[in-house]
Amino acid sequence: MSKHKKPLKAVLHGMDARLQRNMLLYFQNVCEDALVVVSDAEAEIDMVDIDSSEGQNILKQLQSEDFNRPLVVLSRNEVDLDNILFILKPISLKKVLSTFDRLRFLVDRQKSKKEITQIPVEKKATNGNILLNLKDKVSDSKSVLEIRTDIVAKEVPSEDNNALIDNDEIKKVSKHKTAQQLNENRFASFIGMMMDIDFNDEAQLADSSYSPRDYYQGYVLATFKVAKTKGRVLQLNSSWKPLLIFPRSNEVWLDADDQQLRAFSSVELNKATGVKLSVSAASTELQDIKQKLECFYDMDAFIWKLAIWTSRGRYPEIIDVKRPVFLLRWPNFTRSIITPHALRMTALLVHEPKTMLSIAEGLRIKPQYVFAFISGAYALGLVRQPMKTTKEEDEVVVSRPVAISAKKKGLLSRILSRLRS
């Protein structure tokens, strides 16, 4: 019996009996049955050895058949074939397995186009919800909110839940909606109210931080982390609206508009009475979800937005305002709210660490914009603080080391104005 739940079904071409036998042994023993060889009628993919005498002809023939199935080519020479997966011989296990992953995705997608998968109705949790325990500190992870996952009941396998997602991706309009690019004026109305801080006052500066774990943001992040670790769809319940987290597709489902979410995200839940949150297996009826596909959001875009609303121009308390920060990578800005100066700050911080106040000073912008931006990036796990502070890191540098002439700088600024007009 196959060790894989869903082995790829392949038909082999251009291989003599001996090579076929060797390949079979390799797939069985080394790849742990990630691929099984079947007849042409049953096959999901075609695999061709183009080094054989007939290999090139077979490839041409398969290509002329309009690519009914995903095709993977084996060769001892590097080849560059349009829209065909390629494995170089001698075969490396890492490459083979990554190619199989991609093939599995392509096969599943092809299937989902052909048929509407029957989705089982999820079972409700039977042994109650789990209260979130927020005693532990949040960190990037230095510690996490504790959720007693040991009693999360009857979770539905992620594959079943994701069948829905695979079929209806294109209908998730919120998930693929283009980003809003906010200027300073629009940001003020977007965020509702921004903390007004005198940054020359040390006490006020210290007060301009917040603890994500005191807010809805903290609960969402903690639940997402558990869902990701367990590979399960989880539901975060509150006196407000249920939030479903789909870890495999990195999505959330929430039937609420932005105003409602903004209002709820600004409430300090640990201080508010009567607000209880719990995590359970997904109990919202799939029929409800299917009817409201516009309620699906990309997880990163959702967390980003939630963190910015929670921040209201403050920074996460775990970040030391006196030490430089840097970004691991660019956020996906076409699908996230672009806060004022976010593109500039990212371009700066992916190249070199800066303190938050030196960024504000260097770019001549309000620190609140930096704090809101860092809050969003921190919630996505993109912010790091190096341990050592050097004089060089504290210097205000707002340009890349590549010298840009004043003339060219003027030109680039005019292109920017044109694009933003």
What is the binding site for other proteins (CB under 8 A)? 63, 66-67, 70-71, 80, 82-86, 102, 105-106, 109, 169-170, 172, 176, 178-179, 181, 249-250, 329-330, 332-335, 338, 343-348, 350-351, 362-363, 398-400, 402, 404, 409-420
**Helix (H/G/I), strand (E/B), else coil: 279:** strand
Cβ 170 to other proteins, closest distance in Å? 5
Return d(Cα 331, Cα 345) in angstroms, integer.
11
Closer CB to other proteins, 51 or 168, in the complex = 168
Q: How far is the C-alpha of 44 from the C-alpha of 28, rounded, in Å?
A: 18
State in angstroms the smallest separation of the CB of 237 from other proteins.
27
Q: How far is the CB of 158 from other proteins (least distance, A)?
A: 14
Q: Based on CB atoms, which residue is closest to other proteins, 162 or 235?
A: 162
**Inter-residue contact 217 to 265 (CB < 8 Å):** yes
User: In this structure, are strands 234-237 and 85-88 parallel, antiparallel, or unpaired?
Assistant: unpaired
User: Closest approach of Cβ 415 to other proteins, in Å?
Assistant: 6
To the nearest whole angstrom, how small is the minimum distance from the Cβ of residue 105 to other proteins? 5
Q: Which is nearer to other proteins, 26 or 86 (CB)?
A: 86
**Which residue is listed with tokens 């061709």?**
48
Cβ distance to other proteins smaller for residue 95 or 276: 95
Q: How far is the CB of 46 from other proteins (least distance, A)?
A: 12
- Strand 296-298 vs strand 71-75: parallel, antiparallel, or unpaired? unpaired
Residue 1, SS3? Answer: coil
φ, ψ for residue 223 (rounded to 5)?
-65, -40
Nearer to other proteins, 134 or 379 (CB): 379
| 186: phi then psi, degrees, rounded to nearest 5 | -70, -30
How far apart are CB 148 and other proteins at their closest, in Å? 28
Partner residues linked to 280 by β-bridges: 235
Would you state the structure tokens that stand for residue 248, as one six-digit string?
Answer: 């495999």
By C-beta, is 25 or 411 nearer to other proteins?
411
The Cα–Cα gap between 229 and 242 comes to: 20
49 vs 214, which CB is nearer to other proteins?
A: 49
* Cis peptide, bond prior to residue 90, ω within 30 of zero: yes
